[in-house]
Structure 1
Amino acid sequence: MSKRMKCFSQKWLVFFVTLLLASLGHAKMAFESNIDTKVLEAFGVNAGFLSQMPNALKKMNKEEEWKKLVKRFDVNYQFIPIIKNMLIEASVPQEFLFLAMAESKFSSRAYSRKKAVGIWQFMPSTAKELGLKVNHYIDERRDPIKSTQAAITYLKRLYKQTGEWYLVAMAYNYGLRKVQNAIKAAGTSDIKILLDEDKKYLPKETREYIRSILSLALKFNSLDNLKDKEYLLNRGARVSLVGVPFKRHTSLIQVAKNLNLSLETLKSYNHQFRYNILPSKDPTYTIYIPYEKLALFKQRQLKQNKSIQASSKSPFITHVVLPKETLSSIAKRYQVSISSIQLANNLKDSNIFIHQRLIIPTNKKLIATREF
């Protein structure tokens, strides 16, 4: 081949590679643009709204902030596939996962100064109105499955009254009536106008809240942002945990032992229970266990029925602390050790207060084995 032809071929090769890279880059941008549009449309938001979100996106782009978010998503992944599927089956946009992220960072232990609790941050009154149990023994706001069922009911109710999913997110944060008043004041439900920084139809907290949810949804749907965390987007097909009914008075310590789990691990899936023994009120309660332990549970079910679930009598009683009472005097009254009361109530020391509710273990076998 002549030098001239060789030079000509090299130029064409460079041109072809450049064109290919450009076209791949364009295809990638188009693909990500389609993802962005799809995410926004899930909330009923026009793609043009992206131009109003620079600060929210900039905050998410900070490496330190992004690492924290991914870590939180990763730590609480057990319930994410289940919650995602529940939203899809209820015809609620799965992107509302990120409303939960904005509310609580997916922590079932999240607690606000206003007494909102759990992944969906329900107030006690709202939780009870939606059918969740909130009492001295159990707080179903911390149950990721039951609280999600309640959240779906609430979100669909808000959607029926607003007609737009972005308005649902605003109402979840600010309150339905207040959002309706904001729409009336603005003369429109257009998101761009409602979030006007000068007019302030909505408070700053709510304006930042909706932008934060949209930004989270956009970031977690970007393959570039996730890099080696792509699996976070693809967990929906695998259910990590399963709910199993156990009879009242069941010891969580015994359940953990029978499943070869630490108590700490079992309780990390079941923050709804305040104590290590299931309450007395209902015949059964659902305990979440790892799916891979289900076969072991079934193998040992007969043994569990004979041992842990056999007693119909409550293994503890409730005592309300009276004035001048001490842990020592209460222990003497019920003829149990101070350490047993401390263990049953997760007390780190002997300090108690008037009107405090204490559970007093009365089952001798449980006291002997300290399985409460």
Structure 2
Amino acid sequence: MCSQIVNAQFLTASDTSESSVKRYKSIINANKEIVEFIEYSLAQKGLPKHLRNLALIESHFDRKITSGAGAVGVWQFMTAHANQYGLTEQNRTDLYKSTKTATVSLTNLYKKYNNWVTVVAAYNCGEGNIAKAMASAGSTQYHIFYKFLPEETINHVKKYLNACYATGELQSVLSNYNSSRMNTVFFVNGGSRKDLGGLSETEINAGFNLNIIADELDVEVDKLLSWNPGINEELQQKGESTLHLPTDLMPDFLLRKNKILSRSIKEGHTSNTKQ
């Protein structure tokens, strides 16, 4: 019970002062046309309007701003992130093209993480850092793994929650976070691989025995294979594959990963191929 209270306190606005609220609101009011365009673009993609606050804390809606790290424009795209989505170096300052790219990036991140708090963190520090933090914490839940993220990212999420408090959208963000924690596993029951909403992913190599993974996680091998169609073939052909597990099981796998690998090597992994 105590940890739930701590978590609830952590995932909330850290600055609800009148001056903070006024500051965020005044930046929005000073950039009404840009804000309206961003909100329209988000709505077109079925994304919540509160994501306009990501541009608010990233750049204060300044298209010409360049950060010390070299991130450019309203959405503060780094070159690599921009290139990933076909946004050229020059077009990072183009409001229309960069916003279109940001909506695609945010949609993809949400499909992967299923809550906006983790999406904001991933947008700031990259998916690789999120994966490392989750592995270090043995959890896919932001309020547990955040301690392993860069300080700048932790502060970025705090700023986002403060901005959402200022715009009256904090409750929506927190409700989304809590419902994703409670409901992710139900999306996959009897589930289809097409909807990875409730599945988290990690990389494994051919040293892992799927039967032992199933045994350690106390799930049926058939269920494990239903979450991972084609995994046997991929492990045999490439020697590695992405393993998908329900979000609530992933921390258990990460915590026992070394033990599972040791058992797999000890007991042999030829039983991966299931007839």
Find the partner of 2:33 among 75, 78, 83.
78
Shift of 1:188: 1.3
- Per-residue deviation, residues 91-126 of structure 1 (Å, max 9, x unmatched): 222211111111111111221112111110001232
Tell whether the 8 Å contact from 2:11 to 2:143 is kept in structure 1 after alignment. Answer: no
Per the alignment, residue 14 of structure 2 pairs with: 57
Shift of 1:53: 5.2
Structure-to-structure mapping, 1:151-166, within 5 angstroms: 151-166=102-117
Structure-to-structure mapping, 1:264-275, within 5 angstroms: none
Tell whether the 8 Å contact from 1:109 to 1:118 is kept in structure 2 after alignment. Answer: yes
Deviates more, 1:208-217 or 1:155-164: 155-164
Tell me which amino acid in the other structure corresponds to 1:166.
Answer: V
Tell whether the 8 Å contact from 1:173 to 1:209 is kept in structure 2 after alignment. Answer: yes
Find the partner of 2:168 among 200, 218, 221.
221
Structure-to-structure mapping, 1:109-120, within 5 angstroms: 109-120=64-75
Shift of 1:52: 1.6
1:106 matched to 2:71: no
Shift of 1:84: 0.7
- Per-residue deviation, residues 201-230 of structure 1 (Å, max 9, x unmatched): 1222211211211221121127xxxxxxxx
Shift of 1:152: 1.1
Give ranges in structure 1 of 5+ residues lacking alignment.
1-45, 223-372
**How far apart are the structure 2 equivalents of 1:108 and 1:145?**
11
Change (3 A) 1:178 1:83: same
**How far apart are the structure 2 equivalents of 1:170 and 1:105?**
18
Tell whether the 8 Å contact from 1:182 to 1:202 is kept in structure 2 after alignment. Answer: yes
Per the alignment, residue 181 of structure 1 pairs with: 132
Change (3 A) 1:70 1:186: same
Tell me which amino acid in the other structure corresponds to 2:96.
Answer: I
Query: Per residue, is there more helix in 1 or in 2?
Result: 2
Q: Relative contact order (alpha carbons < 8 A, sep ≥ 6): 1 or 2 greater?
A: 2
Per the alignment, residue 43 of structure 2 pairs with: 88
**How far apart are the structure 2 equivalents of 1:105 and 1:219?**
14
Structure-to-structure mapping, 1:25-36, within 5 angstroms: none
- Per-residue deviation, residues 216-267 of structure 1 (Å, max 9, x unmatched): 1121127xxxxxxxxxxxxxxxxxxxxxxxxxxxxxxxxxxxxxxxxxxxxx
Change (3 A) 1:81 1:47: farther
- Cα-Cα RMSD: 2.4
Tell me which amino acid in the other structure corresponds to 1:161.
Answer: K
Change (3 A) 1:48 1:89: farther
Tell whether the 8 Å contact from 2:25 to 2:166 is kept in structure 1 after alignment. Answer: no
Change (3 A) 1:123 1:217: same
Change (3 A) 1:47 1:73: farther
**How far apart are the structure 1 equivalents of 2:159 and 2:59?**
13
**TM-score after normalising by structure 2:** 0.54
Tell whether the 8 Å contact from 2:59 to 2:75 is kept in structure 1 after alignment. Answer: yes
**How far apart are the structure 2 equivalents of 1:185 and 1:128?**
29
Tell me which amino acid in the other structure corresponds to 1:183.
Answer: M
Shift of 1:150: 0.3
1:209 matched to 2:166: no
Per the alignment, residue 145 of structure 1 pairs with: 96
Tell whether the 8 Å contact from 1:100 to 1:106 is kept in structure 2 after alignment. Answer: yes
Shift of 1:48: 8.3
Structure-to-structure mapping, 1:14-33, within 5 angstroms: none
**How far apart are the structure 2 equivalents of 1:219 and 1:70?**
7
- Per-residue deviation, residues 107-161 of structure 1 (Å, max 9, x unmatched): 1122111211111000123223322233xxxx22122221110001111222233
1:128 matched to 2:83: yes
DSSP-derived class of the 1:57 partner: coil
**How far apart are the structure 2 equivalents of 1:82 and 1:104?**
16
Q: Percent identity?
A: 29
**How far apart are the structure 2 equivalents of 1:47 and 1:141?**
41
Tell whether the 8 Å contact from 1:99 to 1:213 is kept in structure 2 after alignment. Answer: yes
**How far apart are the structure 1 equivalents of 2:91 and 2:49?**
22
**How far apart are the structure 1 equivalents of 2:71 and 2:63?**
11
**TM-score after normalising by structure 1:** 0.41
